[in-house]
Chains A and B, each alone.
Chain A
Amino acid sequence: MNSIEAKQDEIVADFSFFEDWTQRYEYLIELGKSLPLIATEYKTEDNIIKGCQSKVWVHAELDQDRLVFTADSDAILTKGIIALLIRVFSGENPNNIIEANTTFIDKIGLKEHLSPTRANGLVSMIKQMKLYAIAFQTQLKP
């Protein structure tokens, strides 16, 4: 098991303590509120992923051979899920990011937030994170 999978399992374990959707959402809202997300200088039009509903900004930097993500959204629930995605993907090797799946979202009962009808920018965000990984992977190659 690589660390991306391990982190996903941890999140699934965390969420298993919640008894109902209210507790899951309250936790997400807390995550969304408390996480330092993206530096203002990166909250630009270029870094924006426009959903029909909420906006998402995402930025990536290379720290040695690891990718560090920062992101933000104007909707707090979207932001909470972003915080989870960052916990899973940030600090990982581009190769692992490219190959990773995000099944944990389904396992913690938040699948509907990744549905295309939500148009909240999250699906595009995951795609964008993987695109960053592909781009930086090329840079890392000698």
Chain B
Amino acid sequence: MFDVNHIRQDFPILSRKVKGFPLVYFDNAATSQTPKQVIDVITDYYSRYNANIHRGVHALSQEATEAYENSRHYIQNHFNALHPHEIIFTSGTTHSINIVASGYASLLKPEDELLVSAMEHHSNIVPWQMLCEKTGAILKVIPMTSLGTLDIEAFGTLLTSKTRLVFVNHVSNALGTINPIKTIIDQAHQVGAHVLIDGAQASPHIKADVQALDVDYYVTSAHKLCGPTGVGMLYGKEALLLKLPPYQGGGEMIEEVTFEKTTYASLPHKFEAGTPHICGGIAFGAALKYLNKIGFETIAAYENDLLNYATAALLAIEGLKIYGQADHKTAVISFNLEGIHPYDVGSILDQLGIAVRTGHHCAQPIMDYFKIPGTVRASFSFYNTKEEIDRLVAGVRKAQAMLQ
């Protein structure tokens, strides 16, 4: 039985006050909070077995290596990857995307086409633009509808034998839309294109099965799913990762180094140059373990309940418009009050101890589409409550009264 008050006790930060009010944290899509079960893992690592991995013969190094590799296995099982070495530890989603984008520089030729969705985060746009500049490949955009969903029909016509890569987010960070990635992957594969799915916004809410999806690359960040910042993963199919050139040179990623020639290490080490975020990698697995203990179905059901409750309460405010009205959404509400700038609303909510995100959410093309400077975004997590949503709604009403 899911008991939110019991769950909230796992998160020390939720008991703090901001500007005299109990904190209401609705910026979960930017970063999630950390439960004590994960904090304990981090403390334990630095208190008991902090050491460099994969190279020491001493006990601490062996323990750290084992914990790090066990975490990789746990992540592999969570996403149902075929091999543990298909999980590459990275510094986060952006790093993961850059590894792939930079690798394709030697695999593309001019006139090759890449398809990006209109609702991507800048981190899933800019690396590909840089790749196009390097290779002469052409970037095309899968359009979006006014409901904030992808135009799948248009996607079908954009796909041709020239399409080499397609990259789409599983869930939009600015709108919460859950994209039909299985359809996208299947259609892209029919023309022989590879697909990268940005799972940063999906992985706290949806358990992706990379084999069932048949996805080529799936990337995410630990800090979106109750883990620490600075660590994430790149999942890639073994056959593709073997062909992809390494991204950074350094220690750990080599097999043999002479001044004449260096041979690269096997997967996953080929992409893990230098000393990694060892503690972060271990905590990443611990965070997934924590979420799995609650259960992804339980999380999704509870968050969906919060989403419906908040949507109804916010829409009751006159002049409030919600952007992103897809049938399938995660618990994200992007909105504006008529005639009022999102920055002003966010600043007033901040004074009331309510943390929301305002601005373009690093997804300027979406804001341009709706012709707005940005939105106020409230994103909910399983540790949020309806009482907190009531405070948000009261805060938005207060902001409206003050600003009108």
A: which residues have CB within 8 A of B?
21-22, 25-26, 29, 52-55, 74-78, 112-113, 119-120
Give Cα A120 to B343, complex, Å. Answer: 8
Q: Does B127 count as interface, using CB distance less than 8 angstroms? A: no
- The residue in chain B whose Cβ has the minimal distance to the Cβ of A52 is B359
A53 near B358: Cβ-Cβ < 8 Å: yes
- The residue in chain A whose Cβ has the minimal distance to the Cβ of B374 is A53
B: which residues have CB within 8 A of A?
19, 340-344, 346-348, 350-351, 358-360, 373-374, 402-403
Nearest Cβ on chain B to A80's Cβ, whole angstroms:
10
B373 near A74: Cβ-Cβ < 8 Å: yes
A54 near B402: Cβ-Cβ < 8 Å: no
The total of Cβ contacts below 8 Å across the A-B interface reads: 40
Given contacts A52-B359, A55-B373, whether A78 and B343 have CB atoms under 8 Å apart is: yes
- Point out the residues of chain A lying under 8 angstroms from B347, CB to CB: 25, 77, 113
Give Cα A77 to B342, complex, Å. Answer: 11
B403 near A76: Cβ-Cβ < 8 Å: yes
- Point out the residues of chain B lying under 8 angstroms from A120, CB to CB: 343
- Point out the residues of chain A lying under 8 angstroms from B373, CB to CB: 54-55, 74
Given contacts A25-B351, A53-B358, whether A75 and B402 have CB atoms under 8 Å apart is: no
Given contacts A52-B360, A53-B358, whether A75 and B351 have CB atoms under 8 Å apart is: no
Give Cα A123 to B358, complex, Å. Answer: 18
Give Cα A122 to B174, complex, Å. Answer: 25
A54 near B343: Cβ-Cβ < 8 Å: yes
- The residue in chain B whose Cβ has the minimal distance to the Cβ of A21 is B351
**What are 19 A-to-B residue pairs whose CB atoms are below 8 Å?**
A21-B351, A22-B351, A22-B402, A25-B347, A25-B351, A29-B402, A52-B359, A52-B360, A53-B342, A53-B359, A54-B373, A55-B373, A74-B341, A75-B344, A76-B340, A112-B350, A113-B347, A119-B359, A120-B343
A77 near B343: Cβ-Cβ < 8 Å: yes
B402 near A26: Cβ-Cβ < 8 Å: yes
Known A25-B347, A53-B342, A77-B343; 10 more pairs at CB < 8 Å: A21-B19, A22-B351, A25-B348, A25-B351, A29-B403, A54-B343, A76-B341, A76-B344, A112-B350, A120-B343
Nearest Cβ on chain A to B144's Cβ, whole angstroms:
22
Nearest Cβ on chain A to B17's Cβ, whole angstroms:
15
Nearest Cβ on chain B to A35's Cβ, whole angstroms:
16
A25 near B402: Cβ-Cβ < 8 Å: yes
Give Cα A112 to B355, complex, Å. Answer: 14
- Point out the residues of chain B lying under 8 angstroms from A52, CB to CB: 359-360
Max chain A C-beta neighbours (<10 A), residue from B19, B343, B358, B374 = B343
Nearest Cβ on chain A to B353's Cβ, whole angstroms:
11
Interchain residue pairs A-B with the least CB separation, the first 6: A75-B341, A75-B343, A53-B343, A54-B343, A53-B359, A21-B351
Give Cα A53 to B375, complex, Å. Answer: 9
Nearest Cβ on chain A to B10's Cβ, whole angstroms:
27
Given contacts A26-B402, A52-B359, A54-B373, whether A77 and B351 have CB atoms under 8 Å apart is: no
